[in-house]
Structure formats: structure tokens, C-alpha cells
């Protein structure tokens, strides 16, 4: 279960980050959304592309009750989960 603690838009990231939805690198200086949350009792925080954040909000989470890993979804999309390679490298979809 995820409990969202805070979310804020970031006008320009100070460093590169990995999008928690699509897995792509968000380059330094890019727009992003920062989020802090609790997942299964553990505090977590990360960044998302703005369009990926919207896709996450639009997605029917009953289909992924266990959560997801970066790269399972294409950037800004909810309708096409990717088949992950046997050894997922964390780079995700472009």
C-alpha cells in the first residue's frame, strides 16, 4: 500500500534522476515532479516526468497492487506495460 506524503513540481532539477514510472533518465535542468511517500511501511522519495506522474494518477492501480518498477510503463502512458527483459537493467523506456 502506498501513502502519498507530499508532491511538488520541480521547475528545473539540480541533478539527473530516474523517472519512477518509465525509468528514463530525467536530465539535470528538466521539469519533474518530486514525491515523498510510504510504501509497505518504508519511507521513499523520487522523481517523475510530469506526464508520467499524470499517467500514474490515471492508472487503475487495482491491476498492479504490488506496485511497479521503473521502466514497466512507457513515458506518459498507462496502456502498455512493457515485457521486462530477464535481467532488467533499470534504464527503462525512452
Strand partners, 7: 35
The tens digit of pLDDT for each residue in 12-41 reads: 999 999 999 999 999 999 999 999 999 888
What are the φ/ψ torsions at residue 41 (nearest 5 degrees)?
Answer: 80, 0
Q: What is the pTM of this model?
A: 0.76
DSSP code, position 65: T
Residue 26, pLDDT score = 96
Residue 65, pLDDT score = 63
Residue 78, pLDDT score = 81
Q: Per-residue pLDDT for 86 more than 50?
A: no
- Pair type for strands 17-18 and 25-26: antiparallel
Mean pLDDT over all residues of the chain? 82
Contact 71, 49 (CB under 8 A): no
Helix-strand-coil split of the chain, %, nearest 5: 15, 35, 55
Amino acid at each position: 500500500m502506498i501513502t502519498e506524503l507530499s508532491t511538488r513540481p520541480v521547475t528545473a532539477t539540480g541533478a539527473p534522476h530516474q523517472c519512477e514510472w518509465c525509468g528514463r533518465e530525467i536530465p539535470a535542468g528538466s521539469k519533474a515532479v518530486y514525491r515523498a511517500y510510504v510504501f509497505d511501511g518504508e519511507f521513499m522519495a523520487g522523481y517523475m516526468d510530469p506526464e508520467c506522474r499524470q499517467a500514474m494518477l490515471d492508472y487503475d492501480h487495482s491491476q498492479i497492487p504490488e506496485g511497479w518498477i521503473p521502466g514497466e510503463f512507457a513515458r506518459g502512458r498507462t496502456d502498455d506495460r512493457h515485457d521486462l527483459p530477464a535481467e532488467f537493467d533499470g534504464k527503462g523506456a525512452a
